[in-house]
Amino acid sequence: MKVRDIMTTGVYTCQPDTDLARVAVLMWDHDCGFVPVVDASGAVTGLITDRDVCMAAATRGLALQHIAASQAMSQSVRACLPDDEISEALNLMKHFKVRRLPVIDAHGYLQGVISMNDIARCTDMKKGLAAKDVVSTLAEIGEHRTLTAA
């Protein structure tokens, strides 16, 4: 089964200069915790999660209206292609410990998003993934990182 078969399309995005207050409203209004950041041409330049918004608010001492998405987003975009096998997307999620991946075309333009939720819903369907592979990925993503004392 291919990523295109289960990915979410019609994804809400923001631009690098969008303030975090707008990003938070977008997430709230559309019940999502992940917003791809795209440039004026539509190419994915970053990713912002609800956690990124919260951490920016807590660490910067500024109102969300005064923090741009570009200041809080992850610039390391891990993505997959629509024609990738779902197992490939799952392996990327496991390796990079992420719950969602933007789905881009060969030029970096957003086509959709694939999430662990999308993958879990197709588990054990005809030609789908085995439940053990999904559980293994969730366990890896959720593994606590080791903090060192400063």
The reply to whether 130 falls in a domain is: yes
What is the chain's pLDDT, residue by residue, as a tens digit (150 residues)? 899 999 999 999 999 999 999 999 999 999 999 999 999 998 999 999 999 999 999 999 899 999 999 999 998 899 999 999 998 998 999 899 898 999 999 999 999 999 988 888 877 655 556 666 656 666 566 666 666 665
Q: What is the model's pLDDT at position 72?
A: 96
Position 68 in a domain: yes
CB-CB contact of 80 with 3 (8 Å): yes
The first and second tokens of residue 109, run together, are 């333009």
In a domain, 117, yes or no: yes
Residue 148, domain member (yes or no)? no
pLDDT, residue 127, reads 55
In a domain, 147, yes or no: no
Domain range for residue 122?
Answer: 3-141
Looking at the 3D structure of the chain, how many domains does it have? 1
pLDDT of residue 134: 59
